[in-house]
Amino acid sequence: MKIFGRVFLVLRKKLMHYAWWEIVIFVIGLVSFVSVLIVLFLPVGSGPAKFVFNGTVPAVSDPEFSKMLSDSLNLPLKQSDQPITILNNGDAFMKSFLADIDQATSSINIMDYIWQDGAMSDQILEHLDQKLKQGVQVRIMYDGYGTKVGAPKKQLKIFTDLGGKVSVFHSLTVMPWRLGQNQARSHRRAFIIDGKIGYVGGVAINDSWLGTASSPKEYRDMTFRVQGPMALDVQAAFGELWASMTGEILSGADYYPPASAKTIGSAFTYIPLASTPSAATLTLPKFFLLSVLGAKHTIDITTPYFLPDLSLRQALIQKAKEGVDVRILVPNNLNDSQSVYYASHYSYEELLEGGVKIYEYQPTFAHTKSMIIDGVWSVIGSANLDNHSREHNEENIFGIADQTFGAQMAKIFENDLSKSKLIDLTEWNKRGIWQRVREDVSRTLFEQY
């Protein structure tokens, strides 16, 4: 007590040299600084440490699995007979998307995490400008954090002068009382033409996404072109955030056209999820977890940022011990975030010892986001297996129960796997002390990822 008394007297003498308003400013600054540390580094309101499923998860090949997932997570169970087109890498996406833009007659809505100046942006905006001149309504939304630098301001000025609309999701701020806003990001990908065609996946408007992934300068990624009811779900994922940022609620046949009576193929079941995370729901991590628990034969996951939570790590190890072939495909050191790359190593040893196989893609940065379970249940969309996607990001994904689509996805996964290196546990344990230090430091900043 004497020590505290002496400290108090010293502080009191020091503070007497300052005006009252200087002390108030100092206190406000101190509180703001502490608040920043809490927001950035402490898992405040992150939900339970682990999820436990009270019951038996049906195999993903059983129709009861989709019903269970729908019931447990309060998500709609839908059907579609419209084809899903898999577009590998940027050139395939651009060819398809620009052709669809040119055929638009009523509306084009685009939402992406990153929209940066360059050849890719120029090509898209050139086609959009032409549609504006033809009277088509065009809206663009990008994330304020994802596009914190490099937005094509000059070209967007031309776009808005022609009647296009642009909105930024949560513009980046340095105001202490609004720093939490920087953590809430729109990571959704939603590209919609006339409400009839939609695109989802991991693509961003940045020149690194151009090309065929044939060099380290060209990212490896997949985009999915959907139609019919799935396109309407993509439109809804766009419209929800557009209304929250602009106040404009999209409705009517220009955005949500009536369903076509024409049947194109065999119907399949799917579940859409437009995720707005909070500690009260955390639907996205439960979606991934239940998908893994429904595996009986194979689990093939591709993700650019692999930072699984406790529930998912234990589920992957449990499945591996049950004889399921669990394979995780992640980037090598060509990852666009070295901190995330090293932070992801935190769980390698535990997973490898548990029988999980981890591969690192070698040719370039692999930005693909997919999960294929037993070749019949596929999860595609914008979400990563990291903390931000689980707890902070707006995301949009689909779970698809279709063996034909699953077989296509599995074939692509095998091709990517042939260009990857399997991590050997014995060799992994020989890594140097400097690398281990980097992993520990990066892991300490886990809440950032």
d(CA 113, CA 116): 10
Tens of pLDDT, residue by residue over 57-67, are 999 999 999 99
The answer to whether 181 and 149 are in contact (CB under 8 A) is no
Domain with CATH 3.30.870.10 in the chain: 50-79+271-449, 82-264
Would strands 298-302 and 370-373 be described as parallel, antiparallel, or unpaired?
A: antiparallel
Select from 371, 381, 382 the least CA-distant residue to 406. 371
Token representation of residue 254: 């220009």
Q: Which CATH homologous superfamily contains domain 82-264?
A: Endonuclease Chain A (3.30.870.10)
* Fold of domain 50-79+271-449: Endonuclease; Chain A (3.30.870)
Examine the pLDDT at 156 and tell me if it is beyond 80.
yes
Provide the pLDDT confidence category of residue 7 given band limits of 50, 70 and 90.
low
Tens of pLDDT, residue by residue over 81-106, are 999 999 999 999 999 999 999 999 99
The answer to whether 199 and 189 are in contact (CB under 8 A) is yes
Q: Which residue has the higher pLDDT, 193 or 182?
A: 193
DSSP line for 263-310: --S--EEEEEEEE---TTT-HHHHHHHHHHHT-SSEEEEE-SSB---H
Average pLDDT estimate for 248-257: 96
Residue 389: predicted pLDDT = 87
Listed ranges 13-17, 31-35, 192-196, 427-431; the one with the highest mean pLDDT: 192-196
Q: What percent of the chain has pLDDT over 90?
A: 70
